[in-house]
Amino acid sequence: MFPLNPTNSFCAGAGTNGYSCFSGTSAAAPHVSGVAALLLSKHNTAQGYNNNLAPEDVEYLIRTFATDVGASGYDNFNGMGRLNAGASLAKIDDPEYRIYHSGVYNSRSQSTTQTNQTISLVEPYLNLSAGPYVSDLVEVTDVYNVSFPTGTQVLDGWSLNSRVRGITSSTGFDAENPFASFSSAITNNAGTVTMKTYARHITADFSGHILDVWIPSQASFLKTAFSLHLYKPTVVGVNENSTSHFEVYPNPANSDVNIVMDFPGKQDIIIDILDVQGKLVLKSSYENQSKGIISLPLINLSSGLYMIRVSTDTEQFSSKLLKE
């Protein structure tokens, strides 16, 4: 399927009469919706991630990791390429990949960049009728300091316009369509993200009536938000040069399971238990661990097969667990 190209056809069974074919967004939408649902059901707080995916995150993952076909890159016939559910899902595999959402900015500045500029409202807004007005343009700049664990790579970033309160600087802006620009200066695992958005201060109409209307709101109430695509390589399993030791007992287990560990030096560890469908059912974090036994309660888990995953700063271990 080529979900971004409505000229490609989709053929489906038509009862006992063979197949019928049709094309357009009606053919593409079910496939894209299905992949969107898979992404949303994987990267969310119930699965141990720090946040749920935003609409812009889903769009980024689907478009960026589509399989390129036809002319290199985007083209009018094939769009961004062929929908690739597996590739999109792989790019949010925990713990290697995550989508990070911004918090509170570290600094904010604002300035009036244009005064007495003529704009035209295509549609009514609040108590303003459609038509020409005189306005000032106010720019708001938010700077965020970001820092992630050593070894983390920031692969990409984008604005979360669905969470933005602000508009473009264009005189042809859409008051109902929030927008903020995204730029970053990140080296390795730390740096800054700069977000810019705008507000229009309507000061008069063309009949000379003085007005005091802000679109979408006064500058102090504007809001910006962004996402970053993070990648942190992990070592899966125990390599032949590793001096770490990891053991699970009893196995099968009933009410509790013990994790025996012996790591070189103190490390922060995360212990995850996942069911056979990959769903996170238990997550525990421990700081400054080196050698000892951690006991995990299993009383709330149903009988069945699980995977125990232990992640340190540099290694990852896994073992099957049978809950009786």
Q: Looking at per-residue confidence, does 55 or 267 come out higher?
A: 55
List, in sequence order, every beta strand (DSSP E) within the chain.
Answer: 9-13, 19-23, 97-101, 107-121, 131-147, 153-159, 181-187, 190-205, 210-215, 226-231, 245-249, 256-275, 280-297, 304-311, 316-323
Predicted confidence (pLDDT) at residue 296 exceeds the cutoff of 70:
yes
62 class by beta-carbon count within 10 Å (0-12 exposed, 13-18 middle, 19+ buried)? buried
Alpha carbon separation from 183 to 160, 195, 197 (Å, rounded): 13, 7, 12
In the prediction, which pLDDT does 186 show? 94
pLDDT in tens, 33-59: 999 999 999 999 888 888 999 999 999
How far, in Å, CA of 319 to CA of 103, rounded? 35
β-bridge partners, 164: none
Domains of the chain with bracketed CATH: 9-94 (no CATH), 107-231 (no CATH), 245-323 (2.60.40.1930)
Mean pLDDT taken over the chain: 86
Alpha carbon separation from 9 to 4, 13, 155 (Å, rounded): 12, 13, 34
Question: What are the tokens at 213?
Answer: 């209307």
Tell me the percentage of the chain whose pLDDT exceeds 70. Answer: 89
> By three-state DSSP, how is residue 57 classified?
helix
Question: What are the tokens at 170?
Answer: 């264009």
Q: Looking at per-residue confidence, does 277 or 40 come out higher?
A: 40
In the prediction, which pLDDT does 162 show? 96
Q: How confident is the model at residue 236 (pLDDT cuts 50, 70, 90)?
A: very low
Ranges 92-106, 112-126, 302-316: which has the least confidence: 302-316
Q: Looking at per-residue confidence, does 246 or 178 come out higher?
A: 178
Ranges 57-71, 241-255, 293-307: which has the least confidence: 241-255
The conformation of residue 265, written as its DSSP 8-state character, comes to E
Phi, psi for 161 (deg, rounded to 5) = -65, -25
The count of C-alpha atoms lying within 13 angstroms of the C-alpha of 318, restricted to the half-sphere facing its C-beta, is: 14
Q: How confident is the model at residue 3 (pLDDT cuts 50, 70, 90)?
A: very low
Predicted confidence (pLDDT) at residue 235 exceeds the cutoff of 50:
no
Average the pLDDT over 7-27 and give the result: 65
Average the pLDDT over 210-217 and give the result: 96
pLDDT in tens, 298-309: 988 888 888 888
Phi, psi for 137 (deg, rounded to 5) = -105, 125
Predicted confidence (pLDDT) at residue 8 exceeds the cutoff of 60:
no
Predicted confidence (pLDDT) at residue 131 exceeds the cutoff of 70:
yes
Question: What are the tokens at 111?
Answer: 């300035």
Predicted confidence (pLDDT) at residue 237 exceeds the cutoff of 50:
no
**Helix or strand holding residue 63 (H, E):** helix 55-64
How far, in Å, CA of 160 to CA of 141, rounded? 15
How far, in Å, CA of 310 to CA of 270, rounded? 6
In the prediction, which pLDDT does 123 show? 87
In the prediction, which pLDDT does 240 show? 44
Question: What are the tokens at 52?
Answer: 């749920």
